[in-house]
Structure 1
């Protein structure tokens, strides 16, 4: 699906500060303070990340590609699979402790968070793939055309009605603009490994 078509068909969870189509790319500027988090450890609730969602079938995969050219604390971009404000998965690259980290937040009432450093991905195109099948979403990520890395297997009820699409947010600053280069829907992965 072209990014222009996604922009026409998708719905924003929270409208970003700015959106611009530039040829085949979509530039999204996040609002300062935007985030997605439910309670755990920090005690705060944020439900204002900028996710542009289209319906996701019970057996479907989605991929989001973006340029990793941001570097401020907690800047982040990737893919979101969302049922509602208390049931969602966001996966991508978030800057934490001075380095880009590939990771996931899975929220089922409360959020959890897992990360792994990927400083070698700086300046490259990163693709995050969420594959939904059965009672789970399997998330993989890679830079350029490198092999996929398994990021997370998260539970999701087969009957859940969810949307999927690119997301970004900037909890700590104004001026984050993420360059999204691709969004696609296709068949789910046939195996976990």
Structure 2
């Protein structure tokens, strides 16, 4: 059985899916996690509620998929130019720093996306995997500093995943008010420095 949220085939389906994700991000940006209600998303995207549920069986599926789309955007931007920095540590910190600052400028949206990611259960495994792969691609590109990346080793992949997990955890601490904004960067700096020795 294929994932409920796989990329649809026809242009009309892709356009419908784009509108749904646009509506989701707009609602989340205005009011955070609680503002994203399935009926409102369907209304704003101009799709039937049943259609929305065929694409995304729950609000968590919807928001985690939206997070994946945001990471796609970050990856495209980072790939379009050389990542500043002389070392893998500097390059990773640059990419994560720029992304963190952008997310902190949209606290409601960041709250919605990271909360959904943390709440996700096994039913959202495909979407979580997709987000993880996109984050891995962003960090791997920063480490290598080029698109000419060889096949990463298991250890390389594990290191990148840990960096991603620490970053998302630090963001969640900021979103919930447990961690000040600058602490996110400090936590990341320590983790990245230790992992990329």
The TM-score, its normalising length taken from structure 1, stands at: 0.25
Say which structure, 1 or 2, has more relative contact order (CA 8 Å, 6+ apart).
1
The TM-score, its normalising length taken from structure 2, stands at: 0.25
Is the radius of gyration larger for structure 1 or structure 2?
Answer: 2
**Higher helix content, 1 or 2:** 2
